[in-house]
Amino acid sequence: MSEQGICEKEAFLADSVVGEWVEDWLYALRHMEILAIEHEDQPVSYRELAARVASRAAFLEERGVARGERVAVLMTHGLLFAITLHALRYLGAVIVLINARLSLEEMVWQVDDVEARTLLCDEAHEAQRVAISERLAHVRAWRCTVQMEEGARVFIPAPVCLSHVQSIIYTSGTTGRPKGALLTYGNHFASAVASALRLGMLPTDRWLTALPLFHVGGQAVLMRSVIYGTAAVLQDRFDEAAHRARLLRGDITMVSVVAATLQRMMDDEVAFPAALRVVLLGGGPAPVPLLERCIARGVPVVQTYGLTEANSQVATLRPAEVSSRVGSAGQPLMRTNVRIVDGHGECCPPNGVGEIQIKGPTVCAGYWQEKTVRSALAEDGWFHTGDLGYLDSQGYLFVLDRRKDLIISGGENIYPAEVEAVLLSHPSVIEAAVIGRDDARYGQVPVAVLAVHPAYNESALLSFCRERLAGYKVPKHFLVVDRLPRNAAGKLLKREMRLWL
Amino acid sequence: MSEQGICEKEAFLADSVVGEWVEDWLYALRHMEILAIEHEDQPVSYRELAARVASRAAFLEERGVARGERVAVLMTHGLLFAITLHALRYLGAVIVLINARLSLEEMVWQVDDVEARTLLCDEAHEAQRVAISERLAHVRAWRCTVQMEEGARVFIPAPVCLSHVQSIIYTSGTTGRPKGALLTYGNHFASAVASALRLGMLPTDRWLTALPLFHVGGQAVLMRSVIYGTAAVLQDRFDEAAHRARLLRGDITMVSVVAATLQRMMDDEVAFPAALRVVLLGGGPAPVPLLERCIARGVPVVQTYGLTEANSQVATLRPAEVSSRVGSAGQPLMRTNVRIVDGHGECCPPNGVGEIQIKGPTVCAGYWQEKTVRSALAEDGWFHTGDLGYLDSQGYLFVLDRRKDLIISGGENIYPAEVEAVLLSHPSVIEAAVIGRDDARYGQVPVAVLAVHPAYNESALLSFCRERLAGYKVPKHFLVVDRLPRNAAGKLLKREMRLWL
């Protein structure tokens, strides 16, 4: 930090009552020649990234993007996304991540709801840019490319505190309209630190993400990398073959995946490289048979449980615990508190199933435009996740399912994830989802939606289930489809499947 | 964390206004079979360490050691020190680290000044235990061993917040009586996090320390290890041969050293093992020639600048910067702010030399029994280190010397460390210290105190200096001694040498 920086900081702190100054993480690395981003096989050093970000920030400032402004960003071009993310932070603006897989209606609603004056798009989203600007005449919708400015600019990042909002990410929520979760710089710092303490971190790490950057897990990879000073390896489209080829080149140390991707790599008997230290498996409860196959083959898979409102990870297994704690998402990250609450609002005893509630420095500051920020979470500061699970007697978290996905059949609880794990352990099943169908006698009964191999035989699968599950958990119907619907993060879209019944 | 833990935490937080709950770091690891401590070649797992600590805490509680009490600890037995450190934390007591190399007078003064009711000693300090209890009749002075309790006990750690004081370490200060620096749990957490972000951290790390555990750097190795869940490798006496043998066995990844130790290892052309990721060099400005030799031989040395009041590291080089920033202690750790202030209290421009002042979450809460805690540091929260240095235009810190060691000769500033580096680069010099001698004409002149090889020749060394230093910096006298006086941490005791002149 230069003396100029110090003076500005002092002045800023004197004026500010909101909290603790954050030195810009990228700015601190601006002289370093080490790898910051590898984008489509092109290396970008921290020096180059910081120079591009400074130029972009100056460019946007000249065009009137102002501190505190919410700027909607619709991009899948990884390097452009990273430049934009950091440039908006240099300006002290708030980035609003628009999910590129949303319908036009949904995009228009979010841009409008968040009261953005500016929308930044990459070239791949030109059609949406035009359509949104036709619908929202007051929004300046600009097409951006990596190469836009003329010449290098100097730009000192706007001062921010840990409590300042960095981004808004809309989450689908359990009911009604999506809500914009407010993620702060403090959420990012706490999350990066807690992840490093759980998984380890080396200055030479290269983290490959198959997650879209506009999801919480994708953005978190970029933010962590500038906090650590490590490299993020980005690919524009999630192309499974390209992703796999990059992973297998041998220099990747960390990778974030969802179960479906990992399942296919295991099916294809991919040889994972020795340098790969952590395969971070998120996006929902993982089938135990998949985890067991990974462990047997020495794949360094660690299960994690995360959500948008906690800026990704809530609990993650330690790499050393993988084989002794199969099926658990691990202990909560350091400084994150987890409790399990039953239907009467009481804490459950160990192994008792209830709603997972969390509290800690990674939990978002609230939702956009909720009157009382904290009450949007819960009056006592605990965030109610809507997910069901339990803590064992040693404090390890087991996530069963989304509460809304719970099937209650004749008074018995059926956790779809448990039934799905049995289905997925059968060799003829590629993908499986279990959902509840209304039933006059039992209230609900479980139904399976499957993608299968040619060898599939329904009665064989039914026998397989009957051997492994209580009768009320065995699906009453098997619906075979080509491919299960998933969102951009690879999560099953059960809402959509329920419409099929 | 068990539900019992959650309930206690809720009750504690409801009663507490002091800050943020800390889950006990060791307690969270109590089920893990991974290595916690290797002590004199004996492995101790986290499970075993936590069991011993719980038993010890119960034992001490039964004998009346109470929450908030300051307990003086005089131990060099590493495993016993670690058990005692964590047991006092389980009790919510404050550990007072007594430097085992102090004179009896000094020990008595510290135990009395800190108002300790209890003194815990290992068997090696039986004579001091008896003598102190004769002098301070109200102090219960107990001899401790690793094996003391009968059977295992359950002990739930007392709740603490990040702002609570964990330990008191007396620092010699520049003048007058030593002062007890108050180190908090928050200091430890911030320090461990900032060190991991700068140096990297792997769950498989093994950190060997040659520093006594009763110094800030030694205790920090133990505290970091339970925050990371990694292993600390301890040896009771600092025996250079044993230390070197352990380092060279090949599994050590991190080691803390001072320049004199490293210098001897380089002289002996030790082959450093490949797994060794970081050689953390502290304890004063390092001679550039030593750093250059390390770099040339591929030894992963990184210079750090630290002090007791900042719970060890303030600034540390990134491993990737070692060869391009020789002589710098690196940028300040993340969240630590450094400024350089001239004699008029003004911030210096880049490259301007002044006093190093620091602010941040690793800076201690104050000194024991200072009326106003913050004013003991500085009214504006900046801690005045008394060390001289500068920040270059890219924010890299260069530490020149202790301000009290600065020699002013005929109006010129002479930084002893600069002259010492030249002396140490001469093959006949083993150790060197440069101090100021009063002089009627120049105010002060520099004088060298040396330990030398048999080949030493004063006039040859004088010519060597004249070729490399301005005339006023060349020592006016060379005093040859067998060995230079150093404190327990290996730092030169210049005060003592000044008495010789």
Q: Which of A378, A403, A428 is the last residue of a domain?
A: A403
Q: Is B203 close to A334, i.e. CB distance below 8 A?
A: no
Q: What are the chain B neighbours of A316 within 8 Å (beta carbons)? A: none
Q: Is A201 close to B196, i.e. CB distance below 8 A?
A: yes
How far does CA B367 lie from the centroid of its chain? 17
Interface test with A, best of B20, B31, B347 (most A CBs within 10 A): B31
CA dist B206 and B248 (Å) reads: 13
Q: Is B348 close to A202, i.e. CB distance below 8 A?
A: no
Q: Which of B359, B385, B403 is the last residue of a domain?
A: B403
Q: Is B217 exposed, middle or buried (0-12, 13-18, 19+ CB in 10 A)?
A: buried
What is the number of other CB atoms lying within 10 angstroms of the CB of residue B254? 27
Measured in angstroms, the CA of B382 and the nearest CA of chain A are apart by 12
CA dist B348 and A384 (Å) reads: 50
End-to-end CA distance of chain A: 61
Higher pLDDT, B270 or B490: B270
Indicate the pairing of strand B35-39 with strand B231-234: parallel
Structure tokens belonging to residue A417: 């994830």
Nearest CA in chain B to A34: B320
Provide φ and ψ at A398, rounded to 5°: -120, 120
Nearest CA in chain B to A392: B2
SS3 content of chain B, % helix, strand, coil (to 5): 35, 25, 40
Residues A234 and A332 in one domain: yes
Q: What are the chain B neighbours of A193 within 8 Å (beta carbons)? A: 193, 197
Measured in angstroms, the CA of A205 and the nearest CA of chain B are apart by 9
Measured in angstroms, the CA of A491 and the nearest CA of chain B are apart by 29
A412 occurs within a structural domain: yes
Q: Is A395 close to B339, i.e. CB distance below 8 A?
A: no
Question: Sign (positive/negative) of CA torsion B83, B86, B92, B97?
Answer: positive
> Helices H, strands E: what count in chain B?
14, 25
Q: Domain residues for B302?
A: 187-403
Residues A361 and A277 in one domain: yes
Q: What are the chain A neighbours of B203 within 8 Å (beta carbons)? A: 199-200, 318-320
* Among the listed residues B485, B474, B50, the one whose alpha carbon sits nearest the alpha carbon of residue B229: B50
Which pLDDT tens digit goes with each residue over B321-343? 888 898 899 999 999 999 999 98
Q: Is A7 close to B347, i.e. CB distance below 8 A?
A: yes
Rounded to 10°, the helix A288-296/A416-424 angle is 50
Fill in the DSSP letter of residue A221. Answer: H
Residues A383 and A413 in one domain: no
Residue A54, helix vs strand vs coil:
helix
* CA B38 to each of CA A191, B34, B199: distance values in angstroms, whole numbers, following the listed order: 31, 11, 22
Which pLDDT tens digit goes with each residue over A132-180? 999 999 999 999 999 887 678 889 999 888 989 999 999 865 445 788 9
Residues 6+ apart with CB under 8 A from B146: B52, B77, B79, B80, B83
Nearest to A227 among B32, B197, B204 (CB): B197
Query: What integer pLDDT is reported at residue B471 of this predicted model?
Result: 86
Residues A398 and A435 in one domain: no
Average pLDDT rounded to a whole number, residues A421-429: 88
Nearest CA in chain B to A319: B203
Average pLDDT rounded to a whole number, residues B174-199: 89
Q: Which of A384, A403, A422 is the last residue of a domain?
A: A403
Instruction: Find the largest Cα–Cα distance for chain A.
Output: 75
CA dist A420 and A408 (Å) reads: 16
Q: Is A395 close to B1, i.e. CB distance below 8 A?
A: yes
Average pLDDT rounded to a whole number, residues B98-103: 87
B182 occurs within a structural domain: no
Q: Is B332 close to A203, i.e. CB distance below 8 A?
A: no
Q: Is B203 close to A318, i.e. CB distance below 8 A?
A: yes
CA dist B120 and A298 (Å) reads: 47
Q: What are the chain B neighbours of A395 within 8 Å (beta carbons)? A: 1-2, 5, 28
Q: What are the chain B neighbours of A5 within 8 Å (beta carbons)? A: 395
Contact of A188 with A227, CB cutoff 8 Å: yes
Q: Look up tokens 């005692």; give the residue.
A: B84
For the ranges A360-364, B6-10, B356-360, the lowest mean pLDDT is seen at B6-10
Nearest CA in chain A to B331: A1
Interface test with B, best of A337, A353, A392 (most B CBs within 10 A): A337
Q: What are the chain B neighbours of A21 within 8 Å (beta carbons)? A: 337
CA dist A95 and A56 (Å) reads: 14
CA dist A433 and A450 (Å) reads: 7
Which pLDDT tens digit goes with each residue over A341-382? 998 989 999 999 999 999 999 999 888 987 544 444 656 778
Q: Is A228 close to B9, i.e. CB distance below 8 A?
A: no
Residues A395 and A282 in one domain: yes
Residues B391 and B418 in one domain: no
A217 occurs within a structural domain: yes
The b/e string for B440-451 (b: 16+ C-beta within 10 A; e otherwise) is: eebebbbbbbbb
B166 occurs within a structural domain: no
A182 occurs within a structural domain: no
Nearest CA in chain A to B225: A197
Instruction: Return the number of CB contacts < 8 Å for A and B.
Output: 113
Structure tokens belonging to residue B294: 């390390």
Nearest CA in chain B to A196: B201
CATH code, domain carrying A106: 3.40.50.12780
Q: Is B321 close to A202, i.e. CB distance below 8 A?
A: no
Q: Is A3 close to B229, i.e. CB distance below 8 A?
A: no
Provide φ and ψ at B34, rounded to 5°: -75, 160
CATH code, domain carrying A463: 3.30.300.30
B177 occurs within a structural domain: no
Nearest to B201 among A201, A229, A318 (CB): A201
Query: What integer pLDDT is reported at residue B1 of this predicted model?
Result: 38
**How much is the CA Rg of chain B, to the nearest whole Å?**
23
Residues B287 and B383 in one domain: yes
Which pLDDT tens digit goes with each residue over B385-427? 889 999 999 999 999 887 778 888 887 888 888 888 889 889 8
Q: What percent of chain B has pLDDT over 90?
A: 62
* Category of B488 on φ-ψ map: left (φ > 0), alpha (ψ -120 to 50) or beta: alpha
Nearest to A350 among B2, B196, B349 (CB): B2
Beta bridge partners of B65: none
* Among the listed residues A272, A320, A321, the one whose alpha carbon sits nearest the alpha carbon of residue A294: A272
- Total tally of structural domains belonging to chain A: 3
Residues B298 and B387 in one domain: yes
Q: Is A197 close to B202, i.e. CB distance below 8 A?
A: no
CA dist A212 and A488 (Å) reads: 7
Which pLDDT tens digit goes with each residue over A66-98? 999 999 999 999 999 999 999 999 999 999 999
Instruction: Find the largest Cα–Cα distance for chain B.
Output: 75
Q: Identify the helix (H) or strand (E) that includes residue B251.
A: none
Residues B361 and B424 in one domain: no
Indicate the pairing of strand A118-121 with strand A94-97: unpaired
CA dist A201 and A204 (Å) reads: 8
Contact of A303 with A328, CB cutoff 8 Å: yes
Average pLDDT rounded to a whole number, residues A395-413: 85
Which pLDDT tens digit goes with each residue over A192-241? 999 999 999 999 999 998 778 998 999 999 999 999 999 999 988 778 88
CA dist B317 and A320 (Å) reads: 29
User: In one letter, which amino acid is A259?
Assistant: A
Average pLDDT rounded to a whole number, residues B426-446: 90
CA dist A231 and A312 (Å) reads: 19
Fill in the DSSP letter of residue A417. Answer: H
Average pLDDT rounded to a whole number, residues A279-292: 83
Q: Is B3 close to A32, i.e. CB distance below 8 A?
A: no
Q: What are the chain B neighbours of A339 within 8 Å (beta carbons)? A: 3, 6
Query: What integer pLDDT is reported at residue A10 of this predicted model?
Result: 54
Residues 6+ apart with CB under 8 A from B149: B55, B56, B58, B59
Residues A226 and A357 in one domain: yes
Residues A375 and A414 in one domain: no
The rounded mean pLDDT for chain B is 88
* CA A225 to each of CA A36, A229, A402, B216, B331: distance values in angstroms, whole numbers, following the listed order: 7, 6, 30, 30, 18
Residues A136 and A207 in one domain: no
Q: Look up tokens 């005339």; give the residue.
A: B471
B228 occurs within a structural domain: yes
CA dist A308 and B421 (Å) reads: 54
Query: What integer pLDDT is reported at residue B9 of this predicted model?
Result: 53
Q: Is A394 close to B31, i.e. CB distance below 8 A?
A: yes
Which pLDDT tens digit goes with each residue over A112-137? 999 999 999 999 999 999 999 999 99
Measured in angstroms, the CA of B337 and the nearest CA of chain A are apart by 8
Q: What are the chain A neighbours of B2 within 8 Å (beta carbons)? A: 350, 391, 393-395
Q: How much is the ipTM here?
A: 0.84
CA dist A216 and A170 (Å) reads: 10
Average pLDDT rounded to a whole number, residues B20-43: 91
B41 occurs within a structural domain: yes
Structure tokens belonging to residue B254: 């991190």
Q: Is A202 close to B202, i.e. CB distance below 8 A?
A: yes
Q: Is B28 close to A395, i.e. CB distance below 8 A?
A: yes
* Among the listed residues B275, B287, B282, B325, the one whose alpha carbon sits nearest the alpha carbon of residue B303: B282
Q: Is A2 close to B201, i.e. CB distance below 8 A?
A: no
Measured in angstroms, the CA of A350 and the nearest CA of chain B are apart by 7
* CA B175 to each of CA A369, A483, B171, B179: distance values in angstroms, whole numbers, following the listed order: 57, 76, 11, 10
Report angle CA A215, A216, A218 to the nearest 5 degrees: 65
Which pLDDT tens digit goes with each residue over A248-275? 999 999 999 888 788 888 888 889 999 9
Residues 6+ apart with CB under 8 A from B251: B206, B273, B275
Q: Look up tokens 């960003």; give the residue.
A: A73
> Does B82 score more than 50 pLDDT?
yes
CA dist B235 and B76 (Å) reads: 9
Interface test with A, best of B3, B188, B224, B230 (most A CBs within 10 A): B3
Q: Is A201 close to B203, i.e. CB distance below 8 A?
A: no
Query: What integer pLDDT is reported at residue A354 of this predicted model?
Result: 94
Average pLDDT rounded to a whole number, residues B46-58: 96
Indicate the pairing of strand A354-359 with strand A337-341: antiparallel
CA dist B399 and B401 (Å) reads: 6
> Does B436 score more than 50 pLDDT?
yes
Query: Per-residue confidence at B378, pLDDT binned at 50, 70, 90?
Result: low
